[in-house]
Amino acid sequence: VQRRILYSMNKDGNTFDKGFRKSAKSVGNVMGNFHPHGDSSIYDAMVRMSQDWKNRATLIEMHGNNGSMDGDPPAAMRYTEARLSEIAGYLLHDIDKDTVPFAWNFDDTEKEPTVLPAAFPNLLVNGATGISAGYATDIPPHNLAEVIDAVVY
């Protein structure tokens, strides 16, 4: 869902150099065009990408209550506003130049990227935590400069 959120917000021009938009609008666009599995999973992922205590490089900038380190829940999506962060642009750079494969969405009305043309390894920088189909993962976040130095080395 993160890829779909980032792609949809970028496609709609909801980028760091423009004003914030209601989170509910972004969630609705993602759900209507790319991820028809309910709004809560989309909003939860959007909020998590905005939390600087969970991500080394936040991909979403959010105005309003996006939760706390103490476990307080975020405000409802109708009360928050969001846009892509500047570093998120590096995950989407040149996406319109046929750099990655696209596939039809769930109802064959629009194409979406199967991967993002990331200019930095987001999985290593922000890490990942989750459980799916009985398998768990817990990849810790890493320093962006150190990851780039290691990749170049």
What is the Cα 151 distance to its own chain's centre?
23
pLDDT, residue 25, reads 98
Flag whether pLDDT at 130 surpasses 90: no
User: What are residue 149's phi and psi, to 5 degrees?
Assistant: -60, -40
Flag whether pLDDT at 132 surpasses 90: no
Flag whether pLDDT at 108 surpasses 90: yes
Are the C-beta atoms of 97 and 84 separated by less than 8 Å? Answer: no
> Which residue(s) pair with 139 in the sheet?
128
Out of 5-9, 94-98, 134-138, the most confident range is 5-9
If you ran DSSP here, which 8-state letter would residue 78 be given? G
Alpha-helix runs per DSSP H in 55-102: 88-92
Q: Which of 7, 79, 90, 135 is catalytic?
A: 79
Are the C-beta atoms of 112 and 118 separated by less than 8 Å? Answer: no
* Angle, helices 39-50/23-33, rounded to nearest 10 degrees: 130
Q: Kindly report the pTM of this predicted structure.
A: 0.93
CATH 3.30.465.10 fits 1-92, yes or no: no
Flag whether pLDDT at 151 surpasses 90: no
Residue 140 token pair:
């810790």
Each domain of the chain, given as residue ranges in start order, spans 1-92, 122-152
pLDDT tier for residue 153 given thresholds of 50, 70 and 90 = confident
Does residue 153 carry a catalytic annotation? no
Share the mean pLDDT of the chain: 95
pLDDT, residue 134, reads 86
